[in-house]
Amino acid sequence: MGKTCSYFFAPHSTWAYFGHQRFVALAEKHGARIDMKPCNLGKIMSVSGGLPLAQRAPQRQAYRLAEMRRWSAFLQVPINPQPKFFPPQPDLAARTLIAAQLALGSAAALELAGAVMRALWVEDRNIGDATTLEALVNAQGHDGHALLQAAAGAGAEAEYQRNTDEAIAAGVFGSPWYVIDGESYWGQDQLDFVERALAKQDA
C-alpha cells in the first residue's frame, strides 16, 4: 500500500504554485495518496515568527523576486512575479478547495488547486473573488455555484480551522509543507527529498 503525504499549503503561495504539478506527478508515480490541507498561512506565520511580505525588509523582498524569476526559468513554469491581485484574500479560495475535496474527491480538488494557483500567478485573476472562483470551478467541469455555497458553509470553515490547527501542531511555518511518516519537508525545493521518502515503499 502506498504512503500518505500530508500537503499543507495556502492557495496564494508562490512556492506551492511552483511545486504543485511536480508534487502531484511524483505522488502518482509512487502510488502515494495526497492528504490536501489548505490552511491559513497568515495565522500560522503569526505564531511561528514569520512576517507578511509587505512587512519584510526591502532586500528580502527584492531577493524573493529574483528567486521567483530564477525558478521560473529553471522549471520552465511561467509566472508573473508581481501579479495585479497580490496579495489576495485567500480564505475563500482555501475553503473552496476544501469543499471540492469533500464533494468531489482529492483528484478533482488537486486539479482545481492547480487552476486556482495559475489564475493568480499566470492569468492575473483575483482568487479572492467569489465570481472568479466560481468561474474556475465551472471551467473544471463542476458546479461552481454549488461549490461556492459549500465553501461558505460551516463544514468548510471548520475543516479550514482544523487544517490550520494541525499545521501549527506539526510545526509548519511556510507553504508548501509536506509531511511523510512524521518527517517534514518545507518548500518545493525539497521535492527531491519528498520523492526519496516516497520511493522507500518501492524498495
**Which tens digits make up the pLDDT trace of 98-149?**
999 999 999 999 999 999 999 999 999 999 999 999 999 999 999 999 999 9
Local confidence band at 162 (pLDDT 50, 70, 90 cut-offs): very high
Integer Cα distance of 55 and 139 in angstroms:
36
Local confidence band at 201 (pLDDT 50, 70, 90 cut-offs): low
Count CB atoms within 10 A of the CB of residue 135. 13
The CATH number of whichever domain residue 19 belongs to comes to: 3.40.30.10
Strands 4-9 and 177-180: antiparallel
Question: For 9, how many CA atoms within 13 A lie in the half-sphere containing its CB?
Answer: 31
Count: domains in the chain: 1
Cell numbers found for residue 149: 455555497
**Which tens digits make up the pLDDT trace of 27-78?**
999 999 999 999 999 999 999 888 788 888 999 999 999 999 999 999 999 9
What range does the domain containing 115 cover?
4-202
DSSP E strands in 78-200: the ranges are 177-180, 183-186
